[in-house]
C-alpha cells in the first residue's frame, strides 16, 4: 500500500457521501445509514477504512499499540502524532498547565471576556455569533495562556483556520493548493513562536511558553522543534474546537428555542446541556489512526499499515449505546460520548473547552433572550472533513432589561 497516498486521502479528503452543503450541515442520517449497512468499510477513493459503530471506535481509540497515531502533521511531529512512551512524557508536561485548579481559576476571567464581547453586541440586537463571540473568546484565552501579545491575537485565528483547512474536492490540484497554504502557515507560525521562545529564554514570564522552556524529560529540555510544535498544537487545538463547541451550542438553542428558558437562571443545568451538545453536534467528527499489525474489526480484516478513520460523529449517535440517539436530551445520563477522544489521546484541553462553553452559554442567556437564527442566511461549513462547524452564524435577539441594568 502506498503510505503517502493513505496519509493524504484518509486525513484530508471528505467522504463522497458528504458531497453537498446540506449533507455537511446535517451528516447524521448518512452516518446512521453507513453504521447500519457498512459499519466497517474500505473507501477506495481515500485509501482508508471507515469505522462507524461506537463499540469499534471506542476499541480503536483505547488501543494505541494496535492503532497508532504516529504520522507527520504538516511536516512535523506533535503530541497528537506520537505514541507512548514519548506521548506520555510530553503530555505530562502540558498537564501541569491544565490541572483542575488552574482551569477552574480561569472561570472569572473567562466570564469577564464573555461580558466584554457581549457588551459590544447586546444593544445592536444581532451579531454573527462566530465572528463576535465564538472565535474571539477562546483565541483570547489561549493567547493569554501562551503569553502572546494582544495585538497578535487576530493572527492566531488566521493561522489556525489554515491548519484545519482541507481540500474541497478529491483532486491533485486541490490537494497541493491546500498543502501549500498549510506549509506557509506553519512557516509563519514557526517563525513567530521562535521569536517569543527567544524572548522567554532571556526573560521568563508566568505563561505556558516559559513553563515549556523549563520542562525536562529524563533530564533533557525540549528542543526548539518540540517547543514550537507544542505552541502550534495548543494554538490550533486551543481555539478551533472551542469555537465550534460554542457555535454548535447556540445553534441548538436556536433550533429548539424552548431550551433557552429551561437554561436561563438555572446554571446547574448548563453542564448537562454542554455535554449533550458535544455528543449531538461534536466539534470533531473523526479521528485517524494507522494499524500497526493485521487486525480484525467487526469481522473485517485490516492490514498493517492501512489507515483507519474512526467516525466519532457516528459513534455518538449509535443506538446500541445511546437510547433515542437522534433526540437532544440535556438530562442524558450517562453520556459517554467520544467527542474528546478516549484513552491515551483524550483531549488535554477538554476541561478548558467545557468551562469556556459553560461560561459563555450562562452569560449569553443572562444577557440575551429570544435568540434566533437570522432566517434566509446562508450557512457555510468549515472546509475540513474532520471538523464539524460553520464559518458564520448570524443571530438576532433581545437584550434582557435586568441584564442591561446590571451592566450599566
Rg (CA), the chain: 21
Contact 61, 53 (CB under 8 A): no
Q: CATH number, domain at 266?
A: 1.10.630.10
Residue-averaged pLDDT of the chain: 85
Res. 377 pLDDT band, cuts 50 70 90: very high
371-394 average pLDDT score? 91
**What are the cell numbers at 8?**
493524504
The H or E element containing residue 370 is strand 368-373
**What are the cell numbers at 405?**
441594568
pLDDT of residue 178: 77
Which has the minimum average pLDDT: 67-76, 96-105, 250-259? 67-76
Which has the minimum average pLDDT: 196-205, 227-236, 336-345, 357-366? 227-236
Percent of the chain at pLDDT above 70?
86
Res. 9 pLDDT band, cuts 50 70 90: very low
The H or E element containing residue 308 is strand 307-311
Contact 164, 386 (CB under 8 A): yes
pLDDT of residue 2: 38
pLDDT of residue 85: 63
pLDDT of residue 1: 37
Residue 395 three-state SS: strand
Q: What angle do CA 136, 346, 270 make, to 5 degrees?
A: 55
Of 39, 146, 24, nearest to 97 by C-alpha is: 146
Res. 268 pLDDT band, cuts 50 70 90: very high
Tell me the CA distances in angstroms from 220 to 86, 89, 90, 212, 213, one per residue in order.
Answer: 13, 11, 12, 12, 11
| Phi, psi (rounded to 5 degrees) for 50 | -105, 135
- Per-residue pLDDT at 26 exceeds 80: yes
Q: What angle do CA 273, 274, 276 make, to 5 degrees?
A: 65
| Phi, psi (rounded to 5 degrees) for 188 | -65, -40
Contact 148, 210 (CB under 8 A): no
Tally of domains in the chain: 1
- Per-residue pLDDT at 360 exceeds 90: yes
Res. 59 pLDDT band, cuts 50 70 90: very high
148-161 average pLDDT score? 77
pLDDT of residue 71: 63
Structural domain that includes position 248 = 3-407
Contact 165, 384 (CB under 8 A): yes
**What are the cell numbers at 97?**
498547565
Contact 57, 315 (CB under 8 A): yes
Contact 217, 90 (CB under 8 A): yes
- Per-residue pLDDT at 86 exceeds 50: yes
CA dist., res. 271 & res. 114, Å (int): 17
Sheet containing strand 286-291, edge to edge, reads 40-43, 48-51, 307-311, 286-291, 67-68
pLDDT in tens, 230-244: 787 777 766 778 999
pLDDT in tens, 279-336: 999 999 999 899 999 999 989 999 999 999 999 999 999 999 999 999 999 999 999 9
Amino acid at each position: 500500500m502506498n503510505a503517502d497516498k493513505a496519509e493524504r486521502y484518509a486525513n484530508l479528503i471528505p467522504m463522497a457521501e458528504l458531497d453537498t452543503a446540506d449533507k455537511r450541515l446535517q451528516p447524521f442520517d448518512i452516518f446512521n445509514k453507513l453504521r447500519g449497512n457498512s459499519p466497517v468499510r474500505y473507501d477506495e477513493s481515500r485509501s482508508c477504512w471507515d469505522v462507524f459503530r461506537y463499540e469499534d471506535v471506542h476499541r480503536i481509540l483505547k488501543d494505541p499499540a494496535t492503532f497508532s497515531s504516529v504520522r507527520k502533521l504538516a511536516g512535523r511531529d506533535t503530541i497528537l502524532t506520537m505514541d507512548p512512551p514519548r506521548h506520555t512524557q510530553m503530555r505530562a508536561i502540558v498537564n501541569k498547565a491544565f490541572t483542575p485548579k488552574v482551569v477552574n481559576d480561569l472561570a472569572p476571567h473567562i466570564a469577564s471576556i464573555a461580558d466584554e464581547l457581549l457588551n459590544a453586541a447586546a444593544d445592536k440586537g444581532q451579531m454573527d455569533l462566530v465572528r463576535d463571540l465564538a472565535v474571539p473568546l477562546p483565541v483570547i484565552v489561549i493567547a493569554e495562556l501562551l503569553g502572546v501579545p494582544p495585538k497578535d491575537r487576530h493572527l492566531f485565528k488566521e493561522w489556525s483556520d489554515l491548519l484545519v483547512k482541507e481540500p474541497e474536492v478529491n483532486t491533485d490540484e486541490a490537494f497541493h493548493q491546500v498543502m501549500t497554504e498549510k506549509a506557509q502557515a506553519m512557516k509563519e507560525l514557526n517563525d513567530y513562536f521562535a521569536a517569543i521562545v527567544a524572548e522567554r529564554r532571556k526573560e521568563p514570564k508566568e505563561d505556558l511558553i516559559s513553563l515549556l522552556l523549563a520542562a525536562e524529560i529524563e533530564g533533557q529540555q525540549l528542543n526548539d522543534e518540540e517547543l514550537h510544535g507544542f505552541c502550534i498544537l495548543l494554538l490550533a487545538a486551543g481555539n478551533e474546537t472551542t469555537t465550534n463547541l460554542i457555535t454548535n451550542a447556540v445553534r441548538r438553542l436556536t433550533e429548539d428555542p424552548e431550551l433557552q428558558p429551561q437554561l436561563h437562571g438555572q446554571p446547574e443545568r448548563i453542564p448537562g446541556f454542554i455535554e449533550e451538545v458535544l455528543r449531538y453536534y461534536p466539534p470533531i467528527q473523526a479521528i485517524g489512526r494507522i494499524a500497526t499489525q493485521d487486525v480484525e474489526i467487526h469481522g473485517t480484516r485490516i492490514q498493517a499499515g492501512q489507515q483507519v478513520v474512526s467516525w466519532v460523529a457516528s459513534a455518538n449517535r449509535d443506538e446500541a449505546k445511546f437510547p433515542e440517539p437522534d433526540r437532544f436530551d440535556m438530562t442524558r445520563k450517562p453520556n459517554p460520548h467520544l467527542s474528546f477522544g478516549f484513552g491515551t489521546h483524550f483531549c488535554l484541553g477538554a476541561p478548558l473547552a467545557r468551562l469556556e462553553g459553560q461560561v459563555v452559554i450562562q452569560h449569553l442567556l443572562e444577557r440575551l433572550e429570544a435568540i434566533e437564527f437570522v432566517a434566509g442566511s446562508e450557512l457555510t461549513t468549515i472546509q475540513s472533513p474532520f471538523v464539524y462547524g460553520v464559518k458564520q452564524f448570524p443571530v438576532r435577539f433581545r437584550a434582557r432589561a435586568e441584564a442591561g441594568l446590571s451592566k450599566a
